[in-house]
Each structure stands twice: as structure tokens, then as C-alpha cells.
Structure 1
């Protein structure tokens, strides 16, 4: 189950990034909503993965040491999920602004996409097969 969820999480990552670029390129209701909702799915998958991931569970057992040591464990125990949650908040704030017709939406979507790009584990395989 863990491997299947990890594959799905990695696959949805590309959808989220594509929808995010589409929302920036074409500021309309549909791409913005697809970006925000695909990102919501991505975060939900990530939360489920965090509960069953041996890497995260091992890091949580000794959180102080995991956060103090730079590398893969700290990235997944602290930075990865924080960036995802920040991006989720920014994307939904942007969607709210877009629905109200306010021009702040593109800035919020751009910040969300920036937070996502910083949160993607680029050192891992781009697609797990």
C-alpha cells in the first residue's frame, strides 16, 4: 500500500505543477480551481503517506536529531510537508480572491507555485515505476 500511495503522490505532483502553470498562464476560474483542488488531493495523499512512511515515522521517533541533521530525513520530516501546507493555503486564498474578482489571485498562485517548487524532492526519481 505504501508503494502504491507513493507512486500516486509522485504522479499527482506533475498534475499539480501543470495545473499551477496553467493557472498562472491563463487566469481563469477552471485552471485555478483545478490547481487548488489537485493540490488538496496531493496534500491529503501526503498526510496519509506520512502516517505510514517508515522514513517519517523513524524521524518522528527522534525529531530533534532528525531536524538538526541536514539531508533527506530533515527534508521529509520538516520542510516538505510545511511547504506543501503553505502552498495549499496560498492556492486556496488565491482561489477565493479569483472568485471575488480581485487581482491578487495571480500573486497568490505564483507564491503557491514557488512554495511547491521548493518543496518538491528533486533529488528523488522524477517518476517512480
Structure 2
């Protein structure tokens, strides 16, 4: 089960990144061109937040079944001094939850704004902040600190 959820989590991260980039692009272009906030824009806002929530669910499942996190939780005094274990036991998890909260708040606030420019602006700023948090906390394959492959096989 662990390897399947890990592979799904690895795959869905690309959907999260793609949907965020697309939503941010639509938000900034709609904001700058002063176009109306269409049903498509609203669907993009909604589905971007939904995909992020699906990723959060995979991440939470992983948190509770991961041998790395299990070691972190049961050997905290030793594990907190080991970069890779601390990253997955604490740093990655906390930052990703914060990113999903930021995206969720942005989605909810954009939905409730009264004017189209306010909707685009809110979506652009909050989703961009969420994306920056995510980008800083993903264990990229090129990272010298913590690296994981771009895709995990099933």
C-alpha cells in the first residue's frame, strides 16, 4: 500500500503544479486585461483547489504509513538532527499543509468577491503564494539537500 500511495502522491504533484500554473496564468491575464470572471475561470479556481486537496489526502495517508515518518515520531531526539528524516517528518509536511490552507483561503475568498477584478486579483495572489510555498518544499530531484525522483513507478 505504501508504494502505491507514494507513486500516486508523486504523480498528483504534477497535476497540482500544472493546475496552479494554469490558474495563476488565467488569474493574472484576466486581472490585467479586465475581462469578466467566466464560468471557466470559476471552474479552474474550483478544480485547482480540489486537486490540491486530493494531494493533501494522499500526503496525510503517507504521513501515517511512511517508515521515515514512523522513525521520526518514535525517535524524535535523534531524527530531528538528521536532515532527510526531519524534512519528511516535519518540514515538508508542515509547509505543504500551509500551502493547501493558503490555496483554500484564496479559492474561498475569490469565490466571495463581488467584482471580477477582485476575484482575479485574489486568486492570482493567494494561488501564487501557495505555489511558492510548494516549490520551496518539494524534494526536487536536483536538490542537493533532499532529492527524490521526478516520477515514482507503481
TM-score by length of 1: 0.93
Q: Which residue of 2 aligns with 1:22?
A: 22
- Establish whether residue 2 from structure 1 lines up as the match of residue 36 from structure 2: no
Deviating above 3 A after TM superposition, structure 1's stretches of 4 or more consecutive aligned residues are: none
Equivalent residue, structure 2, for 1:37: 50
Stretches of structure 1 that go unaligned for 5 or more consecutive residues are none
1:64 aligns with 2:77: yes
Q: Tell me, in whole angstroms, the C-alpha distance in 1 between the residues paired with 2:102 and 2:133.
A: 9
Q: Count residues with an aligned counterpart.
A: 128
Structure 2 residues not aligned, in runs of 5+: 28-40, 141-146
Decide whether the 8 Å contact of 2:24 with 2:123 is kept in 1: no
1:114 aligns with 2:100: no
Could you say which structure has the larger radius of gyration? 2
Tell me which of the two structures has the higher relative contact order, counting C-alpha pairs closer than 8 angstroms and 6 or more residues apart: 2
Aligned to 2:107: 95
Indicate conservation of the 8 Å contact 1:7/1:127, yes or no: yes
Output the aligned Cα RMSD. Answer: 1.1
Scaled by the length of structure 2, the TM-score of the pair is 0.79
